[in-house]
């Protein structure tokens, strides 16, 4: 339901900003990231870009290589610096949180002021991630094989 809200809210284009543990997403929702027709493919088919801060894992290598077709800007930081286990997505006056640890629970908050604050925090985190890891932009045509520091 949360992913459906993102698609319905941003259909036709827009950007989501997320902090995520990709392996936990994949484990909780099989095929979410890796499979054709998963959420990522659905997002892309609606022209929705994603700017994400993630901890490095082997699955991230695939996302880095496929970032152009996945409409993905990705900041990859070492897992010891970013021991994050859940998923937060910020989009068009909304803020969603999904617990990916033991329980799978989520909430969407719709509030322009919370959205603006969360986007400001994300922007600050993105700037910090540039210094702690590696950033790969969807428009960058380099091979994307460099691993985070």
The pLDDT, as a whole number, for residue 88 is 93
Six-digit token string for 6: 């993102």
DSSP strand pairing (134-136 vs 106-110): unpaired
Single out the residue of 86, 85, 90 nearest to residue 109, CA to CA.
Answer: 90
pLDDT digits (tens, 9 = 90+) for 76-89: 999 898 888 888 99
pLDDT at 20: 86
Residue 106 has pLDDT above 70, yes or no: yes
- Residue linked to tokens 């319905």: 8
CA dihedral 90, 78, 125, 2 (to 10 degrees): 10
**Better-scored residue on pLDDT, 113 or 138:** 113
Residues in the chain: 149
- 62 within 8 A of 50, measured Cβ to Cβ: no
Share of the chain above pLDDT 70, in %: 85
Please report which confidence band the pLDDT of residue 105 belongs to, taking 50, 70 and 90 as the band edges.
confident
In tens, the pLDDT along 20-73 reads 887 777 777 765 565 566 667 778 888 999 999 998 888 888 888 888 878 889
| Mean pLDDT value across the chain | 83
For residue 101, pLDDT beyond 60: yes
- Residue 145: pLDDT band (50, 70, 90) is very low
């Amino acid at each position: 339901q949360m992913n459906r809200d993102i698609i319905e809210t941003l259909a036709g284009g827009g950007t989501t900003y997320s902090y995520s543990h990709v392996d936990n997403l994949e484990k909780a929702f099989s095929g979410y990231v890796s499979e054709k027709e998963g959420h990522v493919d659905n997002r892309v088919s609606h022209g929705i870009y994603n700017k994400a801060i993630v901890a490095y894992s082997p699955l991230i290598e695939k996302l880095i290589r496929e970032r152009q077709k996945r409409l993905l800007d990705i900041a990859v930081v070492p897992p010891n610096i970013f021991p994050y286990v859940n998923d937060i997505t910020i989009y068009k006056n909304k803020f969603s949180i999904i617990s990916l640890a033991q329980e799978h629970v989520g909430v969407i908050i719709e509030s322009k002021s919370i959205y603006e604050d969360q986007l400001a925090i994300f922007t600050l985190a993105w700037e910090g991630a540039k210094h702690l890891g590696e950033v790969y932009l969807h428009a960058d045509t380099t091979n994307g094989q460099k691993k985070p520091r």
